[in-house]
Amino acid sequence: LPLGARSRGERQRLLFDIGTVTLAAVLFVWYFSRLEPQGSAAAQHAVVSSVIMVLMSVILFGLVKSILSGSGAVDPVALRLFGLGLLTEIVGNLVAPLVPARPHYSVELFTRSALYVLVVAAALRRPADRAGTGTRARRRTFSVLPYVAVASVDALLLSTMWQQGSRRLVVAVVTVVLTVLVIVRQIGAFRDNAGLLDRLGRQERRFRSLVQNAADVIGITDRDGMITYVSPGVHDLVGLSPDELVGTGGPEVHPEDLALVGDAFAEVLTDPEVAVRYEIRVRHADGGWRRVRMTMTNLLDDPAVGGIVTNASDITESHDIHRQLSHQASHDALTDLANRSLLGAQLARVLAERGDRPASLALVDLDDFKAVNDTLGHQAGDALLIAIAERLRRGVRPQDLVARLGGDEFAVLIDGADGTAADAVAERVLALLGAPITIDGHDLLVSASVGIAEAGPRDDVDVLMRHADVALYEAKAAGKGRHARYSEEMRRRMSARAESTPPLDFIPLAEETGMIVPIGRWVLAQACRDAAAWLAEYPDTAPATINVNVSPVQVGAAAFGEDVVQALAAAGLPAGRLMIELVESAIVGDVATHLRRLRELGVRVALDDFGTGQSTLSLLDICPVDELKLDRSFVRDPQHDKVATVVATMAQVLGVDAVAEGVETSEQAEHLHHLGYRLAQGFHFARPVPAAAIAEALRGDTVAVPA
């Protein structure tokens, strides 16, 4: 019967208790065994008492230890029943010689029967204990048995005061010994208790300090929701002291959160095993609302707590920061309108959920906005955009979404409106924008063009945006300051114009109407896709680069760099495989900075129509390039050989490639080669062909290239 895992003080007190009870029990056995038996049983009684004394001492020690300290895996009740049976048998054997024998009657008959009954009862306890239905005894923190033993010995001492002989002396000596044991045991207990009280006091002060100085607020409420305790941190949270809240239902909860609080409280009452977490808004003493994360735990059955413990954390600041970041990610920084990303997400949601409900998209493009920036400066242009954004908000319905796509492009998502209702919104917007706007003392008249597209049954976001773009183009082509609604006839007319109009005709018109930016974006993306496909299928023969001409209007747009990066990423084309071609007149303002950043990514830059500008050399200083393309005017006229030679020499000195444009004859090619050119382009080599023809040529098929 091991003592188990106990501290040194606990083991000492347990041994004192065991010794006290065992010594008292042995004294009683010895005392009664010394009683003189009647008749001729004296000799037999003396022998039996000596043997029983030894056995009784051992049994008593084990029995007392079991009662005081438990027995580990053995069921304590079964062990006590078994020990009581043995004790009954021994006492019976001691008393039997003192009782006169009678026919059919003896003390052993009753004690032996009691032994059997108690042993059987102990045995019956074992299966129940193995099945898990038995009661596992807890370690006792206090036992009255040692004190009962001392009191019994004191009573025995009093009963022997009028007796003579050695038994009285033995009882007195044992009484003194037991008294000393109890005194020593109590002194140790007092010392341990003093240490425990000191540690308990320190722990209480430590935990009280933690609770009182914690940022979180700890509270306890009763079953009815009334506060019985709340930590001092509640003053920082809601501006009220603990005394003002104890006995109340707590601070005011936002009306929209009352149902949530009721559901959470009901849940924590129903299931004590679950910690319920939720977020609510509570009113501060200053009248504002604080957002709080709550955690409730049911400790009503814990006698030390007797309530529902609530932990409250102030998350107002983090919630506000998260909301601000989310807003910044989905809104335009200048106008605070929705940005392209939010518009796309909302448009996709409306198209997915609308069912039979109509929906329309309107694209709004300001006419000649660039003139404002050029004459009054970008600060005035920004102020004008902010004023226009405010007018757009006023011109649409509450359920409509206004977004800024970039530059002077805006969009309006008109949910639940067919084409006629969308036309009314567009007319209202145009009327509001047509009124003068005062910027820095200047009255500005702004006109805009609006293109409207009504969502078809199978239209997605991209299709609807393209249709609105086509309608916007029609509105601008019709004279600006008006709106147009998309139709299939518009698409057919645009396709016809695109198929028959040469670049020199449609590019200036596209630049004037602003359509050059989306057109150029599409050309850039398609060129990257074609180049990536050639590289993947024909890695050994694919062109080293694909050159894309960009308009000055396109390269001057704020989103041009992002368009290039997105086109490369979407196609999976290495940046070094793309060559951006632009004329020197396009490099104004921040364009040089944007080009340098693209070159840092690996994109190559070519200066087109080189030699025709007035600031070529200074441009090469502020905007390093990878290729100089000699303008075709210097190729056609041999009198310009000096210029052509200078350009070739300059390219060699700068370490860049020199390319001759507009080569139409073999004589021109040979002459330029003599001047130092190793690269050239023109109808002498090939005319424009579809991308499929390039793929066939790379594959090695015979391709008829028009000359």
Is 2 contained in some domain? no
Question: Do 183 and 269 lie in a common domain?
Answer: no
Contact 487, 370 (CB under 8 A): no
Q: With 60 as the cut, is the pLDDT of residue 52 above it?
A: no
Helix 166-213 to helix 8-33 angle, to the nearest 10 degrees? 160
The reported pLDDT for the residue numbered 559 is 84
Distance in angstroms (rounded) separating the CA atoms of residues 643 and 164: 148
* Mean pLDDT calculated for residue range 422-442: 88
Amino acid 184: pLDDT: 84
Per-residue pLDDT, 707: 41
3-class secondary-structure state, position 41: helix
How far is residue 113 from each of residues 7, 63, 121, 356, 469, measured CA to CA in Å? 42, 20, 12, 93, 107
Residue 439 main-chain phi, psi, to 5 deg? -130, 120
pLDDT greater than 60 at residue 136: no
The reply to whether 510 falls in a domain is: no
Among 454, 456, 459, which Cα is nearest to 413's? 454
Q: Which of 447, 618, 603 is nearest to 531 (CA)?
A: 603
Give residue 704's pLDDT. Answer: 43
> Residue 36 — very low, low, confident or very high, per pLDDT cuts 50/70/90?
low
Q: 149-163, 177-191, 458-472, 476-490: lowest mean pLDDT where?
A: 149-163
**Do 273 and 343 share a structural domain?**
no
**What DSSP designation does 253 have?**
B
Q: What pLDDT score was predicted for residue 604?
A: 94
Structure tokens at 184: 């020593």
The sign one gets for the Cα dihedral 603, 604, 607, 609 is negative
Give me the pLDDT at residue 446, please.
84
> How far is Cα 571 from Cα 563, in angstroms, rounded to an integer?
12
Residue 414 and residue 464 in one domain: yes
Mean pLDDT score of the chain, rounded to an integer?
81
CA-based end-to-end distance of the chain? 109
CATH number at residue 472: 3.30.70.270
Q: Do residues 164 and 243 both lie within one domain?
A: no
Provide the whole-model pTM: 0.42
Give the count of domains, the chain.
4
Range of lowest pLDDT (50-59, 267-276, 554-563): 50-59
Q: Of 321, 355, 373, which closes a domain?
A: 321
- Among left, alpha and beta (phi > 0; psi -120 to 50; other), residue 55 is alpha
d(CA 640, CA 251): 88
Q: Is 664 a member of any domain?
A: yes
DSSP, residue by residue, 298-354: EETT-TTT-EEEEEEEE-HHHHHHHHHHHHHHHB-TTT--B-HHHHHHHHHHHHHH-
Claim to verify: residue 274 and residue 369 sit in the same structural domain: no
525 and 643 fall within a common domain:
yes
State the Cα–Cα distance between residues 668 and 662, nearest whole angstrom: 9
Average pLDDT over residues 47-52: 53
Q: Are residues 374 and 313 in the same domain?
A: no
Could you tell me the CA-to-CA distances from 646 to 281, 345, 632 in Å, in that order? 75, 54, 15
Instruction: Write the CA distances from 212 to 167, 245, 284, 379, 578, integer angstroms.
Output: 65, 16, 19, 53, 65
Same structural domain for residues 469 and 492? yes
Assigned domain for 194 exists: no
Q: What is the residue whose two structure tokens read 């994109």? A: 603
Q: Is position 434 within any domain?
A: yes
Assigned domain for 203 exists: no
Burial class (CB in 10 A: 0-12, 13-18, 19+), 240: middle
Q: Are residues 172 and 219 in the same domain?
A: no
Mapped onto helix, strand or coil, the DSSP state of residue 585 is helix
The string of pLDDT tens digits covering residues 543-567 is 999 999 998 888 888 788 889 999 9
Q: How far is CA 582 from the centre of its chain?
A: 46
Bridge partners of residue 438, in order along the sequence: 443
Q: Express each pLDDT in 558-612 by its tens digit.
A: 788 889 999 999 999 999 999 999 887 777 777 888 888 888 999 999 988 887 6
565 contacts: CB under 8 Å, gap ≥ 6: 601
Res 17: pLDDT: 78
**Cβ contact 478:485 at 8 Å:** no
Nearest Cα to 598, choosing from 556, 560, 545, 549? 560
354 touches 462 (CB < 8 A): no
User: Confidence class of residue 134 from pLDDT cuts 50, 70 and 90?
Assistant: very low
315 lies in the same domain as 340:
no
What is the rounded radius of gyration, in angstroms, for the C-alpha atoms of the chain? Answer: 50
Residues 20 and 169 in one domain: yes
In a domain, 3, yes or no: no
Only one residue has tokens 């977020």, namely 279
**CATH number, domain at 643?**
3.20.20.450
Q: Report pLDDT digits (tens) over 503-549.
A: 776 788 788 777 888 999 999 999 999 999 999 999 888 999 999 99
Q: Show which of 188, 206, 229 is a domain's final residue.
A: 188
Sheet holding 276-283, edge to edge: 227-230, 217-221, 307-314, 289-299, 276-283
Q: Which domain holds residue 589?
A: 516-699
Does residue 326 belong to any structural domain of this protein? no
In 3D space, the residue among 676, 640, 684 whose CA is nearest the CA of residue 658 turns out to be 676
The per-residue pLDDT for 588 is 72
Question: How far is it, in rounded angstroms, from Cα 61 to Cα 78?
Answer: 17
* 63 pLDDT tier (thresholds 50, 70, 90): low
- pLDDT over 70 (residue 38): no
- How many angstroms separate the Cα of 303 from the Cα of each of 138, 197, 202, 299? 18, 20, 22, 8
362 and 229 inside one domain? no
Q: What is the pLDDT of residues 340-395, one digit of tens each?
A: 889 999 999 999 888 888 899 999 998 878 888 888 888 888 999 999 999 999 88
Q: Is 39 a residue whose pLDDT tops 60?
A: no
